Amino acid sequence: MEKKRGKLYLIGAGPGDPELLTLKAVRALQQSDVVLYDRLVDPGTLAFAKPGAECIYVGKLHGEQEQTQEEIFDLIRQHALSGKVVARLKGGDPMIFGRGAEEWVLALEHGIEVELIPGVSSAIAVPALAGIPLTYRGVSRSFAVITGHCHDAGSPEWSRYSGLDTLVVLMGAKNRVSVAQSLIAAGRRPDEPVAFVERGTTSREHVITATLGEVAEAGVAVQNPAVFVIGRVVELRPRLFAPAETP
């Protein structure tokens, strides 16, 4: 008799604040025997796990991403094929630069049932909660979300981003200088406003504003994790956070 296979939940943990976890995500965590969680998952989120669940940290170190990903694949196979319910808990949304689709494919190849539970994406929520809406009538009608560590500086690929109103760069703090230089070379204005939102949605959130040119000249210090926003919408932040006028 064939042994019953478990199940894989691909869960988005949201941008940091555990209260931004969805109700469906909480229910899935309460049903899971094993939780594989990333570096950007707030420890408070693990409080929703089922009592006695095995919580395994699988955060990726720079330069070891591929090795760690193979270990994650092995853990999914090992636990789900032994009949356990596995929660793969990822920061933000698992389908946005999270390799969630790859883990989904792997599970299906081994006959493991998969259920996706989307998360609140840091690309949208972090700027918004910092007073930077990605769209605003008369200011921004389009935006793009790009990764900051998979593009070569000077590549013609950057030209596709020159005409968009707003850009959000995830995982771009480390390569911010080359990203800014590439965007300026592609046609974006050096005086365009930018913002970095460090540790967004948490009690340690910090917002840094500057211009694209200042970033390109290595004049802006930033600490990871941070969301990099480029565009005129950054100028809305003082208006949204302006103190209320007293009558």
**Which sequence spans correspond to the domains of the chain?**
7-120, 123-240
| Terminal C-alpha separation, the chain | 76
For the chain, what percent of residues have pLDDT higher than 90?
84
Q: Are residues 147 and 171 in contact, defined by beta-carbon separation less than 8 angstroms?
A: yes
**Residue 98's pLDDT is what?**
85
Q: pLDDT band for position 29 (50/70/90)?
A: very high
**Residue 158's pLDDT is what?**
85
pLDDT over 90 at 207, yes or no: yes
3-state DSSP call for residue 68?
helix
pLDDT over 80 at 2, yes or no: no
For the chain, what percent of residues have pLDDT higher than 70?
91
**Residue 68's pLDDT is what?**
84
**pLDDT (mean) for 5-25:** 96
45-101 tens-digit pLDDT: 999 999 999 999 998 765 556 668 899 999 999 999 999 999 999 999 999 998 999
3-state DSSP call for residue 140?
strand
Please name the residues in contact with 32: beta carbons below 8 A apart, sequence gap of 6 or more. 9, 49, 50, 53, 85, 86, 87
**Residue 104's pLDDT is what?**
97
226-235 tens-digit pLDDT: 999 999 999 9
**Residue 5's pLDDT is what?**
80
Give 123-240's CATH code, choosing from 3.30.950.10, 3.65.10.10, 3.30.460.10, 1.10.287.130.
3.30.950.10
The answer regarding whether domain 7-120 maps to CATH 3.40.50.150 reads no
In a 13 Å sphere around the CA of 191, the CA atoms on its Cβ side amount to 0
**Residue 245's pLDDT is what?**
54
128-184 tens-digit pLDDT: 999 999 999 999 999 999 998 755 555 658 889 999 999 999 999 999 999 999 999
- Annotated catalytic residues are 38, 60, 171
